[in-house]
Chains A and B, each alone.
Chain A
């Protein structure tokens, strides 16, 4: 796809289509969005901003709901520990 660009997820470079959400980038990267209270890896569940399972650290901001947030070129995303 011509309109792809890259973001970084836990240090790894991931290519995403323009208009993709940050949650999509994390699933493509195979990285969990957050670590739960007892330390389980978690990823997106509802896909519509309700369950809060997909929250991650986006450009340094913790608890960002990644399914409601569009990727921007060179974004830095990390699993919310």
Chain B
């Protein structure tokens, strides 16, 4: 039987990336009892991910991690929040432990995931997300001499290509679906964001010599049991490239499942917050990507505002508003530059699987007119990922709206669900 523990916090932070760490630090430095929980085994989230092949953290990451220790934040790594049994309580599970975490105020910093778009062959092993492949390499996957195509859209592609190149991989090509005119406008607008320019220049130095194709995207992946080649569309023509890995992601989508389960209102897919990062539910704050995809600098500012506001330091939080506004303008620029072109809607062929958990093909889905109808008739989105991968894809391809979220927000072990103090008769989610 798993261990059952209880912890009580003034402020509980869910998510240990930049936004969550910044929130936890500012709350704890205000004297509150603060806990931070994240499913990853180490702090940092995706962007500050540690691992065996990683050198020391960047200066910025290390200084926040030092402050986290100094401030006395209770760190719960490897604990995934899966349920909200009653107001003011969340349940989290580790490998063989369950945690009942109660809080007065809550900061949700649940981050974002990559958007995946289906095309023929996209389910082959060794075709991964761009951030996905980077995460694996940071977790010890040797990549020296491997031939890699990086494809999709968003600033992450360049960052990943640069990282993999430094690790000794041979980057054959970067395919960016945005047009060259959009990217040029993006580059010009960067002048208003000096700190981003520096990052941009560093990146372009790192990826010098790697071919970058604009208005270019993958149309098919090939291979028997694993990826062997990819066909890309480039300047209206298709060409096939032999490769060992395809790192493919179409920018980011926010992780809003937990905020939605807690009743936080969303608008256009993002969690709605007031100027102090408070959601529509009093006492619940949200920071970072779930409120709008804006990158790490915005996440750190929003996290600090949320952490200060959650401990009643509104006037200190207000001092960060001008900085936040500047980074929000950058977020809007990201949206405009990397919005998806409509051609990508027609990438799947009739037998391309859209839902990878339940193996539901494009031809079975296109008969339906809504996400709900598709779920009921085909089991699309009903597998263990609970629609986290196919949901954003069908939203783009068919313009379907996502459904309500039901507990548990992640598949949880039955004994962990049973361990909770309250009845679980309302639980209808998928349990493996």
Residues of chain A at the chain B interface (Cβ within 8 Å): 3, 16-21, 23-24, 27-28, 30, 32-33, 36-38, 40-53, 55, 63, 67-68, 70
Contact digits for B35-53, partner A, Cβ 8 Å, 1 yes 0 no: 0000111000010000111
Given contacts A41-B125, A48-B131, contact A24 B226 (CB under 8 A): no
Contacts of B297 in A (CB 8 A): none
Contact A67 B139 (CB under 8 A): yes
**For A43, what are the chain B residues with a Cβ–Cβ distance below 8 Å?**
125-126, 128, 226
Query: Is B283's beta carbon under 8 Å from chain A?
Result: no
Q: Are B113 and A48 in contact (CB under 8 A)?
A: yes
| A23 with B226: CB separation less than 8 A | no
Residues of B within 8 A of A (CB): 39-41, 46, 51-53, 78, 80, 113-114, 116, 123-129, 131-136, 139-142, 225-226, 255, 353, 356-359, 383-385, 388-389, 411, 432
**Is there contact, CB below 8 Å, between B114 and A32?**
no
Residue of A nearest to B122 (CB): A45
Query: Do most interface residues of chain A lie in helix, strand or loop, or is the interface mixed?
Result: loop
List 7 A-B pairs, minimum CB-CB distance, nearest first: A20-B140, A19-B52, A43-B125, A47-B135, A47-B132, A52-B384, A37-B359
Give 24 A-B contacts (CB < 8 Å), ordered by A residue: A3-B52, A17-B52, A19-B140, A20-B139, A21-B139, A30-B226, A40-B359, A42-B123, A43-B226, A45-B116, A45-B356, A46-B116, A46-B129, A46-B131, A46-B135, A47-B131, A47-B133, A47-B139, A48-B40, A48-B113, A48-B132, A50-B255, A67-B135, A68-B39
Chain A residues with Cβ below 8 Å from B128 are 43-47
A67 to B128, CA, bound (A): 12
B357, A52: Cβ atoms closer than 8 Å? yes
Contact A24 B136 (CB under 8 A): yes
Q: In the bound complex, how far is the Cα of B359 from the Cα of A51, in angstroms?
A: 13
Q: Interface residues of B: mostly helix, strand, loop or mixed?
A: loop
Count A-B pairs with CB separation below 8 Å. 118
Task: Determine if B132 and A46 form an interchain contact, defined as CB atoms under 8 angstroms apart.
Answer: yes
Check if A53 sits within 8 Å of B359, measured CB to CB. no
Residues of A within 8 A of B142 (CB): 28
Which residues of chain B are near A53, meaning CB under 8 Å? 356
Residues in A neighbouring B125, C-beta threshold 8 A: 27, 32-33, 41-43
Taking CB atoms, residues of chain A closer than 8 Å to B139 are 19-21, 23-24, 47, 67
Partner of B225, one of A32, A46, A50: A32
State the Cβ distance, B100 to closest chain A Cβ, in Å.
Answer: 22
Residues in B whose Cβ lies below 8 Å from that of A17: 52-53, 140
Most buried by B among A20, A27, A40, A45: A45
8 Å CB contact of B123 from A33, A40, A47, A49: A40
CB contact between A51 and one of B40, B225, B356 (< 8 Å): that residue: B356
Chain A min CB distance to B228 (Å): 13
Which of chain B's residues has its CB closest to A32's CB?
B125
- The CA-CA distance from A24 to B255 in the complex, in Å, is 25
For B255, list chain A residues within 8 Å (CB). Answer: 50
**Interchain CA distance A32-B227 in the complex, whole Å:** 12
**In the bound complex, CA of A66 to CA of B292 (Å):** 30
Contact A52 B383 (CB under 8 A): yes
B248 nearest CB neighbor, chain A only: A45
